[in-house]
Amino acid sequence: MPQDGNSRYLRCMKTPRYTPLALSLPSTVPFVGPETQERSRGKAFAARLGANENIFGPSPLAINAMQQAAEEIWKYGDAQSHDLVQALAAHHGIPAQNILVGEGIDGLLGYLVRLLIGPGDAVVTSQGAYPTFNYHVAGFGGALHMVPYRYDHEDIQALFAKAAEVDAKLVYLSNPDNPMGSWHRGQDIVAALADLPEGALLLLDEAYVECAPTGTAAPVDINDPRVIRMRTFSKAYGMAGARVGYALAQADLILAFNKVRNHFGMNRTAQAGALAALQDQNWLTHVQGEIATARKHITEIAAENGLTALPSATNFVAVDCGQDGDFAKAVLDSLLAQDVFVRMPFAAPQNRCIRVSCGPDEDLALFAAALPVALAAARSACAADIAS
């Protein structure tokens, strides 16, 4: 054996040997995070209104619980998130066996797609809906089929019809919707299940449902094998950085996650924080009020600038900039340049909008000050384009 094993590696060009699927995947990212943008800008944002984070924050009791739990961070988290699952079971009035806690909805989406979707398996979603779901589907080789929004709402009938057409194993629907903020009544979703083709599982992403009017949460029978719902502590509960989501579904499907999930993947402080956040429903009510106020405020700012804000059941508002995606992109770019972090929908015609997260008055004041400048800049750029 040679003394230096390192000398041999130059000829080992075949290592590592990726799967054909891995080789076919792009190294793209669903979203560019605000910190990444700040580093490439060389400058921090003054208002962070782009990631639908909840700037009003979590319950102080949740923060305190996390700080307490940090003292015990030497222990792994409970692999079953037992206390949180029990509390969620009581909160929802369902058995614990119908609940799985995981590393945010993003983590749960990955596990669910892995359980169901292999190369070529059909999946249906809306054109311009949550890209991280698409990322997971592509990552397991699934074939994504998309239907357009209808009047800025996800089109349930079209989604289910497409699912029947392509024999989909999985159908994605977010209610309320991201990025448009629109929503369906929960009872309408349950009624529409009659048209969900056999063999298709409806993944109902209810990440924003605590921000929505009463009746938005779909009253799905917890034993209905056709639906899995996902909830999160990242939005109304204000704990995006903790990574805690949960799934509600029939017990067999919940159990199946144990085949693939990272059993010791939960951060221990996050488990404690989510439990405390759930137990402080007064704080949730307070935040719901703040969100409603901020939505109204964003709507007013839009109106003052001659723009229309779309009705929203979420903690963000899509503001229709009144022209096409290029124009909205120019508005967005100017807002970013003015240190106001916002995002915009990916697909036309929703990309005529910018998407502004709810926040306290001081953040919205920065947006209000920057928007007229951004609109003027976009109109000027647009005029220059036409002239050239």
Binding residues with a second copy: total (CB under 8 A)? 113
Check whether the bond before 34 is cis (ω within 30° of 0).
no
Residue closer to a second copy by CB (options 226, 379) is: 226
Binding flag, residue 313, a second copy (CB under 8 A): no
Binding flag, residue 253, a second copy (CB under 8 A): yes
C-beta of residue 77 within 8 angstroms of C-beta of residue 264:
yes
98, 175, 178, 267: which one contacts a second copy (CB under 8 A)?
267
C-beta of residue 276 within 8 angstroms of C-beta of residue 123:
no
Binding flag, residue 307, a second copy (CB under 8 A): no
Binding flag, residue 2, a second copy (CB under 8 A): yes
151, 198, 386, 387: which one contacts a second copy (CB under 8 A)?
198
Interacting positions 154-193 with a second copy (CB under 8 A): 169-170, 190-193
Binding flag, residue 332, a second copy (CB under 8 A): no
The nearest distance, CB 125 to a second copy, in angstroms, is 16
Which pair of tokens denotes residue 16? Answer: 């590592």
45, 47, 49, 53: which one contacts a second copy (CB under 8 A)?
53
93, 214, 259, 387: which one contacts a second copy (CB under 8 A)?
259
Binding flag, residue 26, a second copy (CB under 8 A): yes
- Given the rule CB under 8 A, which of 15-23, 295-303, 347-355, 374-382 is the region that contacts a second copy? 15-23
Q: 246 vs 53, 79, 104, 270, CA distance in Å?
A: 18, 14, 7, 13
C-beta of residue 109 within 8 angstroms of C-beta of residue 136:
yes
Q: 112 vs 123, 143, 235, 236, CA distance in Å?
A: 12, 15, 21, 23
CA 73: distance to chain centroid?
A: 28
Interacting positions 217-246 with a second copy (CB under 8 A): 220-221, 223-226, 228, 234, 238-243
Binding flag, residue 309, a second copy (CB under 8 A): no
Query: Which of 181, 188, 152, 215 lies closest to 313, judged by CA?
Result: 181
Interacting positions 69-108 with a second copy (CB under 8 A): 69-80, 82, 103-104, 106-107
Helix residue ranges per DSSP H, the chain: 20-24, 34-41, 60-70, 82-92, 104-116, 131-139, 156-166, 186-192, 251-256, 268-279, 281-304, 325-337, 361-387
Binding flag, residue 122, a second copy (CB under 8 A): no
Binding flag, residue 55, a second copy (CB under 8 A): yes
Name the packing angle between helices 361-387 and 325-337 (round to 10°): 130
The nearest distance, CB 123 to a second copy, in angstroms, is 12
The nearest distance, CB 139 to a second copy, in angstroms, is 5
